[in-house]
Chain A
């Protein structure tokens, strides 16, 4: 599973860790996160994320 980076603030989504505080279980691929999830740091939408190279 790929890591994704928020282009706004640099937060890195690690699928192994997920984002449990906001309802994303560890082990969730970025593509499978619900569409209304936002960056937990700056609040940018999912569309602002890019795959980490």
Chain B
């Protein structure tokens, strides 16, 4: 086969040398996934760095493949498997998660190894049947169940709602290897596979964006999952997207713990849209107030910034200020779309502040409050609504609100 998907040679700690195309994680455990260099939009989540679909092949008495790749990347996965073994020899396909970026190549793969057994959770089996409408060989495993494949015994742990009901992780104690599927994932397309080959700043940013857009609603479930996984002896975490964690495991676990507990930084995020510049003027004066109080602030214009990027900022910020003019007795539709996304992702521990401008009705602010009311945030004592165009006094007033709010969180205990 050609080496068009070659990766660089890497000497692993245990002295395992990779050849050009295959990437060995551990003795006889290989990455056989696909790199989606071209992916820019993952069901509405912008992925400027592309992504990978990570599939892992375990060579043991029973040949086992853990997760597959998106359907259109089947050939790339098969070509990588072919480098190591005839794919017909696969005995088990572990499906940790039903979503089609991981299960999408199962139907085609089963055409060449029809006797392979799919190992999945109860919900996984139900989901796969609904997706692919075929009666494959299934082995349903409960949480805590194990499967011996020769030298190794695979352990399965269900982590419901991290991030779907069927979500499961596979753990290989003999190799201290955790295959947690989407947990700890990041959308990064790269020829590098390991965390010491890419800058931590990039990894952290992409892991945060992934968490914020995919996992944020399920913080309590993540806490439970981390408790269970914390008891395992792990020296490598190989997720289903992006790079494999090896040298920065404590760092990423620390971030996950923080995110799962909805811990925020002492910072403010202003999200707004404007028609004739009035709400924009208010947004910038508000930002000045935050700055003067000594806290960090970011301004995000809904016309120019994608909601999936703003959500990453939401994850970190303590104060969320939302600004919209009133149009047709409600908010601008960009704000409506953003709030629909925001409310679904259920961020916690926020202080909300709502501002805007109007010509006559002025209903936008109340409508915004109604939409986010179910989030149980704290709110600044009142909204700030300006008729038509703000004057100096208005701008000074909203700046004072920024200072006031900023000082409040600055003087609270906790992380800076």
Contact = CB atoms under 8 A, between A and B. Distances in A.
B145 to A, nearest CB: 16
Contacts of B160: 8-10, 42
Contacts of A41: 161, 218, 220-221
Nearest to A48: B165
Nearest to A44: B165
A27 to B, nearest CB: 21
A3 to B, nearest CB: 17
Contact of A42 (B161, B374, B376): B161
B257 interface: no
B83 to A, nearest CB: 39
A8 B167 CA distance: 11
Contacts of A10: 160-161
A42 B217 CA distance: 9
A9 B376 contact: no
Interface residues of A, number: 6
Interface in B105-125: 123
A53 interface: no
Interface of B is mostly: helix
A21 interface: yes
Contact count band on B = under 10
A41 B123 CA distance: 16
B123 A8 contact: yes
Contacts of B123: 8
Interface in B221-270: 221
Nearest to A42: B161
Interface in A5-53: 8-10, 21, 41-42
B409 to A, nearest CB: 23
A9 B160 CA distance: 5
Contacts of B374: 21
B46 to A, nearest CB: 25
A8 B121 CA distance: 12
A10 B159 CA distance: 10
A38 to B, nearest CB: 12
B190 to A, nearest CB: 33
Contacts of A21: 374, 376
A9 B165 CA distance: 5
A21 B376 CA distance: 8
18 contacts: A8-B123, A8-B160, A8-B165, A9-B160, A9-B161, A9-B165, A9-B221, A10-B160, A10-B161, A21-B374, A21-B376, A41-B161, A41-B218, A41-B220, A41-B221, A42-B160, A42-B161, A42-B165
Interface of A: 8-10, 21, 41-42
7 smallest beta-carbon distances between A and B, as pairs:
A8-B165, A9-B160, A9-B161, A10-B160, A9-B165, A42-B161, A41-B161
Given A9-B165, A42-B160, 4 more contacts: A8-B123, A10-B160, A10-B161, A41-B220
